[in-house]
């Protein structure tokens, strides 16, 4: 039976005792605060280092030292195929075939590569639709891709805004905007979860609506990967990109992820920017003219696998594989629900701007403080609770289920409760 929520340390301890994934916390390294592990709610920004990472990096250093060029074939994890080790676990999380997923480059670079392939304005059909207030890198990418096509970003990019007085986007408004611009729409590109509000959009419904109008639908899943299980293949998403250093714990600047639906990935004629690593291995080393893309997302690979950029991700994904994304999501729902419950007991004036419905959010809750947001954030940091602050007025809390406990969440509430209202 589930433990009913109560705003007490005992309740948090009971919830932790019942948590089947609690042991994974030990597998990660925490920043230190006064000689103890800090509480870490920034896994939506930079995930923690798995304990296994040092040994995994040492393995590659040793193989490089001892095998040098032979390491491409004979390293413990042969470098020639290094990126392929991720396909199975990522395919499980993203809900797609192994061929439809790969890792390469970094998120915004991959987004540009996808824009080359999927944004092909033609006559009147030249608009790109995105959510207002998207992550700045995505905004810059779209602005510059419009210019590359000699189009004015201000008229080419259609932003969907929340209704006046609201902070979240309503699906019906997104669908209506898609319909309004139907025959002008070339591409819809949205963040799966908005980094600021924590809102998860209805990827399946929105994708289908854009495609009904003859547009491609692509998603930036930076805040989704490792947070919420996806069904990208069945939802018929055209492409998706994500980074690996947030919930996936790949480390700063870790290799990015890419999904390309097989209906495009199996088409060797699909336009793309090519490099030798995307070429069929059987002919790659013949060093001849004539690009022959590999099947699937790997056909978008460009350069030699960046092994040192992938090692930490490999170590972390081994934990994801054992824990299972569905079980992690189940814990995450309860952990975030407990946080929401505790926040509801607090008399501090703030508003949770993240959707109340569990199915429309991930681990993160965004707390909007009309005043004192920054001061409260500073106090939390001084108490060893690492969370982040985004203008205007928002503290984001992301209890990542792999390494956060119910007691961690309780501590945030305890510190908040004991904080004076006037700061
Ligand atoms: C974190 C994040 C990025 C970061 O892009 P990089 O190219 O990895 O620096 C881009 N878009 C979104 C939506 C993000 O959340």
Tokens of 355: 């959707």
Could you tell me the CA-to-CA distances from 185 to 123, 162, 271 in Å, in that order?
11, 20, 19
Q: Is residue 137 part of a domain?
A: yes
42, 61: one domain = no
Overall average pLDDT of the 356-370 stretch: 97
79, 46: one domain = no
Is residue 400 within 6 Å of ligand 1 at its C-beta? no
pLDDT for residue 423 is more than 70: no
115, 45: one domain = no
Q: What is the pLDDT of residues 101-140, one digit of tens each?
A: 999 999 999 999 999 999 999 999 999 999 999 999 999 9
Cis-peptide, bond into residue 392, ω within 30° of zero: yes
| CA of residue 3 to ligand 1 center, whole Å | 37
22, 88: one domain = no
104, 238: one domain = yes
Q: Which domain holds residue 173?
A: 57-320
| CA of residue 141 to ligand 1 center, whole Å | 11
337, 305: one domain = no
| CA of residue 385 to ligand 1 center, whole Å | 24
* Residue with CA at minimum distance from ligand 1 atom 8: 107
pLDDT for residue 418 is more than 80: yes
Q: Which atom from ligand 1 is nearest to the alpha carbon of 109?
A: 7
Is residue 237 within 6 Å of ligand 1 at its C-beta? no
Q: Return all residues near 246 (Cβ < 8 A) that are at least 6 apart.
A: 43, 44, 45, 46, 47, 222, 223, 225, 226, 227
User: Which of 272, 295, 320 lies at the terminal end of a domain, its last residue?
Assistant: 320
Cβ burial, residue 290 (10 Å; 0-12/13-18/19+): exposed
Tokens of 145: 């891709």
pLDDT for residue 268 is more than 90: yes
| CA of residue 257 to ligand 1 center, whole Å | 11
Q: What CATH number does the domain containing 301 carry?
A: 3.40.640.10
Q: How confident is the model at residue 356 (pLDDT cuts 50, 70, 90)?
A: very high
Ligand 1 pocket mutation, candidates 137, 220, 227, 388, criterion most atoms within 8 A of CB: 137
**CA 206 distance to own-chain centroid:** 18
In the prediction, which pLDDT does 267 show? 97
Which residue, among 192, 191, 193, 115, has the nearest Cα to 156 in the 3D structure?
115
Q: Is residue 4 part of a domain?
A: no
User: Which of 320, 335, 352 lies at the terminal end of a domain, its last residue?
Assistant: 320
| CA of residue 113 to ligand 1 center, whole Å | 15
Rounded CA separation 30/32 (Å): 6
Q: How confident is the model at residue 289 (pLDDT cuts 50, 70, 90)?
A: confident
Ligand 1 pocket mutation, candidates 106, 111, 138, 225, criterion most atoms within 8 A of CB: 138
Q: Do the beta carbons of residue 220 and residue 107 sit within 8 Å? A: yes
Count: domains in the chain: 2
Overall average pLDDT of the 191-216 stretch: 97
Give the residues across from 106 on adjacent strands: none
Is residue 131 within 6 Å of ligand 1 at its C-beta? no
Q: Looking at residue 22, what DSSP letter applies?
A: G
Is residue 310 within 6 Å of ligand 1 at its C-beta? no
* Residue with CA at minimum distance from ligand 1 atom 13: 135
Helix (H, G, I), strand (E, B) or coil at 377: helix
Q: Is residue 407 part of a domain?
A: yes
Q: Is residue 228 part of a domain?
A: yes
pLDDT for residue 421 is more than 80: no
291, 346: one domain = no
66, 45: one domain = no
Which residue, among 324, 257, 325, has the nearest Cα to 297 in the 3D structure?
257
Is residue 222 within 6 Å of ligand 1 at its C-beta? yes
pTM of the entire structure? 0.96
Which residue, among 319, 336, 316, has the nearest Cα to 408 in the 3D structure?
336
Which residue, among 51, 108, 71, 76, has the nearest Cα to 312 in the 3D structure?
51
178, 296: one domain = yes
Q: What is the pLDDT of residues 311-330, one digit of tens each?
A: 999 999 999 999 999 999 99
Overall average pLDDT of the 259-274 stretch: 97
Q: Is residue 3 part of a domain?
A: no
Is residue 195 within 6 Å of ligand 1 at its C-beta? yes
Q: What CATH number does the domain containing 18 carry?
A: 3.90.1150.10
Is residue 364 within 6 Å of ligand 1 at its C-beta? no
43, 186: one domain = no
In the prediction, which pLDDT does 258 show? 98
Mean pLDDT of the chain: 96
270, 204: one domain = yes
In the prediction, which pLDDT does 347 show? 84
User: Which of 297, 320, 343 lies at the terminal end of a domain, its last residue?
Assistant: 320
3-state secondary structure 225-263: CCCCCCCCCCCCCCEEEECCCCCCCCCCCCCEEEEECHH
Between CA 184 and CA 260, with CA 206 as vertex, the angle to 5 degrees is 90
Is residue 403 within 6 Å of ligand 1 at its C-beta? no
Rounded CA separation 52/315 (Å): 6
343, 370: one domain = yes
Rounded CA separation 53/261 (Å): 31
Rounded CA separation 286/40 (Å): 50
């Amino acid at each position: 039976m589930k433990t009913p929520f109560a705003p007490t340390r005992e309740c948090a301890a009971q919830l932790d005792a019942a948590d089947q994934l609690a042991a994974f916390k030990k597998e990660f390294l925490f920043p230190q605060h006064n000689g103890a592990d800090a509480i870490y709610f920034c896994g939506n920004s930079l995930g923690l280092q798995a304990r296994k990472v040092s040994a995994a990096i040492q393995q590659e250093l040793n193989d490089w030292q001892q095998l040098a060029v032979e390491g491409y074939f004979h390293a413990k994890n042969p470098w020639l195929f290094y990126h392929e080790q991720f396909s199975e676990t990522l395919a499980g999380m993203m809900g797609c075939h192994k061929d439809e997923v790969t890792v390469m480059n970094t998120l915004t670079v991959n987004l540009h590569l996808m824009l080359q392939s999927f944004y092909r304005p033609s006559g009147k059909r030249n608009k790109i639709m995105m959510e207002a207030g998207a992550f700045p890198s995505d905004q810059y990418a779209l602005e510059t891709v419009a210019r590359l096509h000699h189009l004015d970003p201000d008229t080419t990019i259609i932003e969907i805004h929340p209704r006046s007085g609201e902070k979240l986007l309503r699906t019906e408004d997104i669908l209506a905007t898609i319909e309004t611009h139907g025959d002008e729409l070339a591409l819809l590109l949205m963040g799966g979860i908005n980094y600021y509000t924590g809102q998860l959009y209805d990827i399946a419904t929105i994708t289908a609506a854009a495609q009904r109008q003859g547009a491609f639908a692509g998603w930036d899943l930076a805040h989704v990967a490792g947070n919420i299980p996806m069904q990208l293949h069945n939802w018929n998403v055209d492409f998706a990109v994500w980074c690996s250093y947030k919930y996936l714990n790949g480390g700063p600047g870790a290799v990015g992820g890419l999904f390309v639906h097989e209906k495009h990935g199996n088409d060797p004629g699909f336009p793309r920017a090519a490099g030798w690593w995307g070429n069929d291995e059987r002919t790659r080393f013949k060093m001849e003219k004539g690009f022959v893309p590999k099947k699937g997302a790997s056909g978008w690979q460009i350069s030699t696998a960046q092994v040192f950029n992938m090692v930490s991700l490999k170590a972390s994904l081994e934990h994801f594989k054992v824990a299972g994304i569905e079980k992690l999501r189940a814990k995450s729902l309860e952990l975030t629900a407990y946080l929401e419950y505790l926040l509801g007991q607090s008399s501090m004036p703030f508003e949770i701007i993240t959707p109340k419905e569990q199915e429309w959010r991930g681990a993160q809750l965004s707390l909007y403080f009309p005043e004192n947001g920054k001061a409260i954030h500073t106090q939390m940091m001084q108490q060893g609770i690492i969370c982040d602050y985004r203008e205007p007025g928002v503290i984001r809390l992301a209890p990542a289920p792999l390494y956060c406990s119910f007691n961690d969440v309780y501590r945030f509430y305890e510190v908040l409760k004991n904080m004076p209202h006037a700061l």
